[in-house]
A and B are shown apart, each in its own frame.
Chain A
């Protein structure tokens, strides 16, 4: 909850201050950058092979990691680069950092640039904090004198005063990371390139990191931040770039980019899952014959999700209206059956349970051979994630006389850029006031 408190005002204030400064000045310009890797199929890693088979050309396959990426980061901007695993975001960062040579295009940088791809690069476990801090500081661009002068500050920030004489190998991983982060923030760079280093440390240290980021942003430092944590993007970034398979897909407001990212991410997953399902049903027919409940007087043939416009969808945005629908085929006469929907999350916890029993009128009389659709209409307040609708058809009365139950792998995704951490994202009104003091 601290996070939402610290979130609100700095974004506004820094956005305001940004528009006042010259927003056209670019700190970093990336122009039509391409990067391809040669991946050798058979690695000839020895001189012997080269000498014995001088004519054999090493077969290599070209892999294009980045295609024509162009964007610019303004001075004082907190710029996010997001994308799924393998979308090329880290490669792009390494190109900007000068670790990889680009295969095409240009990158210009105005100011001193420093990179954190990993914290504590070059730390030697057999040396004490002092030697590691000094070397790491020099690596990151400090002069030896500056590095030595800032050593105390580093140790204090990392809260490692008691342990500074210990060799690094005796540090816990948390201490290790704290030390590394503390060195990293000592660097006086105009432009920082940061690759998901936030997912480290305990909660209080993470809060410290976030505070540092907030401070840097408010001080007008230019930061390029690579991540797939959408809440961090929303919290810090002024703008974000979305990469997908090495191409720039979108550039703009972080919340819109985050929405797009989630859509792409979950759509892929849904398509992937359904393909997998097709394979299993074809390959092993027995797999579809999951033991089913019920007396088979009717079967639930299909369950799907439909949006307001009558299209079948696999995802639903926050506060969007959609309905879970079930197609039921009756094999016998059934009087007033009841349908129940239970929406489970991926931990099989029912989040929403609804039943046609709550309606005042009966569902009606169905004859053998009838086909009917039962629907459950709702406005989506589910937290982002994947949900599995389970539909049960039962005889009215006891509630245990199940006719059929649908619990196959159909699922849908709730898209919601703001991940509160709660299971349901109900709009909450907050307020506060001061009580009269006497």
Chain B
């Protein structure tokens, strides 16, 4: 059966021409500010910070109050690893002669835990918060940064345990402890670089996650946590050692040991063979931050569509 559509209805179906549409509009001036679409950063820095802080805070609250033993669980992971490694340490042959071995090991584990948590947690962060990204306008960089901030909260709590343990083990407070905040800041900047890069890339490449898991494992062994840097220095050829020490985490951990526990340990400068050579890993941290930001910033406007 044929359905006849009345001509008037046909006319209604036909879209108005551009002039007709414009004719229905009153002349208006483009007043106010242009809408620029989604971006990585915001004009309002206070809002940027409030968002980052409150997202991290809510996540932190969840872990803390989500279960009866909240905080304990947060500690159990690094402590368990510490226990196992301490056993391996004492059985294995690389138990160093340096004093406060165990404290150095624990500090290394805590720093590595922070690195792993901040970076691995960022990988899926933007995709997992799809709901937010697609439904509301906010600076996109808030998401990976809140993951790093959350990891920083945990780091702060874990460091308290490290310090208690260190004092109990006979480490005396030193002036060089003042260096520690700077080391931590550099570590955070390094992790932010990774978290921006990884979270932006994961939107397009979903196998970043397993790849990053493997890399994290490698980084653990390449950062002088289990095997002291001094030992690596003795055993490895200078080129291999030099390559290994391009890893900023290794240098940060070693300098942390040096400043916190034992001035006898190698300092960052000694590790790379001269203070000016620290420019290499510093350059890596800086370059990673810049590249990470560039990649994230470039993909930010399209994240909502590409998810």
Contacts and interface: CB of A to CB of B under 8 A. Distances in A.
Contact of A70 (B2, B21, B54): B21
A22 B65 CA distance: 54
A408 B28 CA distance: 53
Contact of A101 (B55, B206, B301): B301
Q: Which 5 pairs from chain A and chain B are nearest by CB?
A: A110-B32, A101-B37, A274-B3, A101-B301, A312-B4
B137 A267 contact: no
A372 interface: no
Interface string B191-207: 00000000001001111
Contacts of A312: 4, 6
B28 A29 contact: yes
B205 to A, nearest CB: 4
Interface of B: 1-7, 9, 12-13, 15-16, 18, 21-22, 24-26, 28-38, 46-47, 50-51, 54-55, 58, 61-62, 66, 129, 131-138, 201, 204-208, 211, 301-302, 304-305
B205 A99 contact: no
Contacts of A47: 201, 205, 207-208, 211
A121 B131 contact: yes
Given A138-B47, A143-B47, A264-B13, 5 more contacts: A29-B31, A94-B304, A244-B15, A260-B12, A311-B4
Interface string A244-264: 110111111000000010011
A70 B5 contact: no
A372 B31 CA distance: 66
A126 B66 contact: yes
24 contacts: A29-B30, A37-B305, A46-B207, A97-B136, A99-B135, A99-B136, A99-B137, A109-B33, A109-B35, A117-B134, A117-B135, A121-B131, A126-B66, A131-B58, A131-B61, A138-B54, A143-B47, A251-B21, A264-B12, A273-B3, A278-B1, A311-B7, A313-B5, A408-B1
A27 to B, nearest CB: 8
B134 A99 contact: yes
Interface in A112-137: 113, 115, 117-118, 121-122, 124, 126-127, 131, 134-135
A134 B16 contact: no
Contacts of B12: 260, 263-264, 267
Contact of A251 (B9, B24, B66): B24
Given A131-B58, A252-B24, A109 B32 contact: yes
A101 B36 CA distance: 7
A410 interface: yes
B1 to A, nearest CB: 6
B205 A26 contact: no
A230 to B, nearest CB: 15
A24 B26 CA distance: 8
Contacts of A424: none
B58 A135 contact: yes
A293 interface: no
Nearest to A239: B24
Contacts of B4: 304, 311-314
Contacts of A117: 134-136
Contacts of A267: 5, 9, 12-13
Contacts of A131: 58, 61
B32 to A, nearest CB: 3
Contact of B137 (A108, A115, A124): A115
Contacts of A115: 136-137
A121 to B, nearest CB: 4
Nearest to A39: B305
A98 interface: yes
A126 B24 CA distance: 50
Contacts of B7: 311
Given A313-B6, A315-B9, A250 B16 contact: yes
Given A45-B204, A135-B55, A248-B21, A121 B61 contact: no
